[in-house]
Amino acid sequence: MFEKTKHVHMIGIGGIGMSALAKWLHAEGVTVTGSDVHRSDITHDLERRGITVVSGHAADQVPETCDLVICTPAILETNSERVAAVQRGIRILTNFEFLGEISKSFSTIVVTGTNGKSTTTAMLGRILVEAGYDPTVLVGSMVPGFPDGNIRIGKGRFFVVEGCEYRANMMHFDPEMIVLTNIEEDHLDYYRNLEHIQETFQQFVNKLQGKGLAVYNANDAGTRPIKFARAVAYGMDVRTDYEVRDRETSQGAQKVDVYREEDGDVRLGPLELQVPGAFNVMNALAAIAAAMELGVPFETCRRTLKEFTGIWRRFERLGVWQGADLISDYGHHPSGIKGTLEAAREFFPGRRIVLCYEPHQHDRTKKLFNDLVETLRLADHLVISEIYDVAGRNEEHDISSRDLVQEIKKRDPAKDVQFAEDHDAAEALLRDLIKAQDVLIIMGAGDIDVLARKLQV
């Protein structure tokens, strides 16, 4: 469909998904240019590859030779570059629309759900690489072992990709396999409620055609209403198609036994992981189930996952700062935050857990307020930075991180929780707070990771 496309201009090229597409297009011989409000390591990497990136947005930055514009859904129709493209009659697609189109030339495996998409995608992609399937893999993170970081360009027939549920963006794909990690309330600026989210996932599952297969989480209550025509389930301590039992944790590792239902209960063998948390066991089991249904031997899965050390901003261990283990994490949904804090307790038993958290988006913070308050209290000490204002989302600023701090203090007067108006203020508080042998987790889906990288130096 895009054989005649010669020059693509990308608005918001510095995003993790957009930059992956830029690399793919560049590898295909397409001229790629782009713009972004912020310079970053991602944009610098694109420039090193020969892709022109400009700062800010202006109408004259859309090149004369451009024949396709790709932008994120966050780019408003009033954006000057988007307006210029409309005036010149240049075709405009969102990155998800473009991905949906190019995925039609592959056997597409879509990993979707509220939590765990990036890690599961990376795990499954790495397994298929080791199995010799030579897949193309696009991940919403950076994956160790992938030379291009957030994308792995292969020559095989499989395309493994995250299906973002925000604004039902996964509906742009026509998958042959769906890996559904879980369904929870999130993105309530778009969805009415949990039922609306489940209805949308049902519509997506219904897109599976012919021998299309769903792989789903048998432990997840949010997934239970979904009807599958053809599916296998995975779970922990529950009798189903793929199951893990007897989980053991130690500092820096966890182990489980893996079983498959094959006319009876068959033990496939032990699985050892370097990544923490029960949630990562479930991510790994989802990847194993999907891979084995594609014909990959368990031993290949086991060996690959034993060597898997995680991905960018998913419990990413950055080193030591002021004697404390420093971790960067993308968590922003209450269940994801809880899983990360529990994982830290397992991997670092007996040590103080200090959480520096940046809430993501005002609307999400308001609608998940009570759950956030209860979850954040699980940390021993808290520094909460002001809410990250998501570009392109018009929302009321009628809530602040101060409200979270006040409510936590109200419910737990003894809890050490402090408000930081920005990253500099958060750093100053942390310098006074952190002691040797602490575990410092810097968490959020916005740009709080910049602070984590600063402390890493």
Q: Are residues 133 and 86 in the same domain?
A: no
Q: Is residue 113 part of a domain?
A: yes
Are 74 and 216 found together in one domain? no
Residues 392-450 have pLDDT tens digits of: 555 678 899 999 999 999 999 999 999 999 999 999 999 999 999 999 999 998 889 99
Q: How far apart are the first and last CA of the chain?
A: 45
Residues belonging to the binding site for ATP are 113-119
Say if residue 154 is in the same domain as residue 286.
yes
> Which one of 306, 328, 352 terminates a domain?
306
Residue 288 within any structural domain of the chain: yes
Does 288 lie in the same domain as 191? yes
- Summarised one tens digit per residue, pLDDT across range 64-78 is 999 999 998 889 999
Report the CATH number that the domain containing residue 11 is assigned in CATH: 3.40.50.720
pLDDT of residue 394: 56
Residues 385 and 287 in one domain: no
| pTM summary value | 0.87
**Which pLDDT score, from 0 to 100, does residue 15 have?**
92
What residues make up the domain containing 62? 7-95
Last residue within a domain, chosen from 259, 281, 306: 306
Top-confidence residue, 265 or 108: 108
State whether 56 and 126 are in the same domain.
Answer: no
Question: Tell me, what CATH number does 329's domain have?
Answer: 3.90.190.20
Task: Specify whether 171 is located in the same domain as 294.
Answer: yes
Number of structural domains (the chain) is 3
Q: Are residues 88 and 129 in the same domain?
A: no
Q: What is the DSSP string of 321-349?
A: ETTEEEEEE---SHHHHHHHHHHHHHHST
Task: Enumerate residues 6+ apart whose C-beta is below 8 A from 53.
Answer: 13, 14, 33, 34, 35, 36, 43, 46, 47
Q: Which amino acid is at 408?
A: I
Tell me the average pLDDT across 303-331: 93
Cα dist. 435→132, 324, 341, 431 in Å?
47, 7, 18, 9
Answer yes or no: is 311 within a domain: no
In a domain, 351, yes or no: yes
Q: Are residues 124 and 64 in the same domain?
A: no
**40 and 124 belong to one structural domain:** no
What confidence tens digit (pLDDT) does each residue in 123-132 have? 999 999 999 9
- What number of other Cβ atoms are within 10 A of residue 329's Cβ? 26
Last residue of a domain, one of 265, 287, 306: 306
Q: What CATH number is associated with residue 124? A: 3.40.1190.10
Residue appearing with tokens 């209960």: 265
pLDDT band, residue 231 (cuts 50/70/90): very high
Q: pLDDT tens for residues 236-295?
A: 999 999 999 999 998 778 999 999 998 778 999 999 999 999 999 999 999 999 999 999
What is the C-alpha to C-alpha distance for residues 109 and 178, in angstroms, rounded to an integer? 6
Please tell me whether residues 246 and 195 are part of one structural domain: yes
**Does residue 1 lie in a domain region?**
no
> What pLDDT score does 96 carry?
94
Taking the CA atoms of 194, 119, 176 and 245 in sequence, report the sign of the dihedral they define: negative
Backbone dihedral region for residue 144 (phi beyond 0: left; psi -120 to 50: alpha; all else: beta): beta
Q: How far is residue 357's CA from residue 261's CA, in Å, rounded to a whole number? A: 41
Looking at the chain, the whole-number percentage of residues with pLDDT higher than 70 is 98
The pLDDT assigned to 392 comes to: 57
**pLDDT (tens digit per residue) in 172-209:** 999 999 999 999 998 888 899 999 999 999 999 999 97
Residues 283 and 324 in one domain: no
Q: What is the pLDDT of residue 119?
A: 95
Binding residues: 113-119
